Structure 1
Amino acid sequence: MNTAIEQITTLRKEGKLDEAIALAKELIQAEPENPVAQYQCAWCHDTAGLEKEAVPYYEKAMELGLSPEDDLAGALLGLGSTYRTLGRYEAAAETLAKGMQQFPDDRSFPVFLSMAYYNLGRHHEAMTLLLQNLAETTSDPSLFAYKKALLFYANDLDQTW
């Protein structure tokens, strides 16, 4: 990993977000085609509560070909979540669904997608994703005992007998 990227990551983890953002922007000035620098800059802005400012950096990182090895999953999740917090629900759902397709084993995508679906009024789809993920990942004995029922109901909460 690039020394500057390591420094940015360390600063972000230490909560020194202004310093991390400044260093990320310096790196982008020096290496504008570096998708990892763009992603790190986005992540720092996002962590600092500067979601609107984070978006172009996320988008640029992916446009430049951020790879799975360089945390494409994190960028897709970050961008999708950020779109949702900015009220861009369609873009959020599209981005998170793309992440879910590309990273089917990453359980964070369907959970965040369920929130975007909720915001879009797609409550059935939101609940289906949440219930499926809850049932498939829980180790709580009181819920695990009802795994089969939860998975059955997740597909159609409106059905009655």
Structure 2
Amino acid sequence: MDTKITQDRLQTAIQLREVGRPQEARTLLLELLALYPDDAELNYQTAWAHDNLGLESEAVPFYLRAIELGLSKDSLQGALLGLGSTYRTLGEYKKAEQMLRRGMQEFPQDRAFPVFLAMALHNLQRHAEAMQLLLTNLAETTAEPSILCYKKALLFYAPQLDKTWANDEKE
């Protein structure tokens, strides 16, 4: 973006979204995007505004364009998660999985990616893999004492939920 005025207008749009006025934010962002169609951050913020309004299908091209144009690390993190989640809500589960796995690779410290991926895997009927992701994240991130005391067991069972240990198997 070229001017401080444009940057101020972008911040205004973000604030509008944050205070629950997404339609006004969307309108302002679309006006800015008409002036600067190749601005990655504007495309990302426009995608986010569309998502907030339940316009997921319309959000997708803005997410894709933002990622293609190159975002800052923080914005890329949000865009990958937003696009992955949006694909899932649109029923495009394979695309959701691909985007969320990319996010996990690029941002391994972000625990939201595996949680959203678990939802996509559930939709893909890959329930054991989804449960493994959820149980592992729960065990590794919870502060709840009644769960923490079972952390070792949760981490042991998470990757082998369908295995049984009948007496005849132990011998």
Specify the TM-score bucket, using the shorter chain as the normaliser: over 0.9
**What residue is the counterpart of 1:14 in the other structure?**
19
Unaligned runs of 5+ in 1: none
**What residue is the counterpart of 1:146 in the other structure?**
150
* CA deviations over 1:62-81 (Å, ceiling 9, x no partner): 01111214x11110000000
Q: How is 1:56-75 mapped onto 2 (pairs within 5 angstroms)?
A: 56-69=61-74, 71-75=75-79
Residue 45 of structure 1 deviates from its aligned partner by 0.5
Q: What one-letter code is carried by the residue in structure 2 that aligns with 1:106?
A: D
Query: Is 2:138 aligned against 1:127?
Result: no
Distance (Å, rounded) in 1 between the aligned partners of 2:94 and 2:100? 10
Distance (Å, rounded) in 2 between the aligned partners of 1:44 and 1:117? 26
Unaligned runs of 5+ in 2: 166-171
1:155 counterpart SS class: helix
RMSD between superposed Cα atoms in Å: 1.0
Q: What one-letter code is carried by the residue in structure 2 that aligns with 1:11?
A: L
Structure showing greater radius of gyration is 2
Q: Return structure 1 stretches of 4+ with deviation > 4 angstroms.
A: none
Residue 115 of structure 1 deviates from its aligned partner by 0.3
**What residue is the counterpart of 1:43 in the other structure?**
48
Distance (Å, rounded) in 1 between the aligned partners of 2:72 and 2:19? 26
Residue 18 of structure 1 deviates from its aligned partner by 1.4
- TM-score under structure 1 length normalisation: 0.97
Residue 40 of structure 1 deviates from its aligned partner by 0.3
Aligned-pair identity in percent equals 57
Distance (Å, rounded) in 1 between the aligned partners of 2:50 and 2:148? 39
Distance (Å, rounded) in 1 between the aligned partners of 2:17 and 2:31? 15
* CA deviations over 1:4-41 (Å, ceiling 9, x no partner): 22111101011111111111111111111100000000
Distance (Å, rounded) in 2 between the aligned partners of 1:89 and 1:96? 10
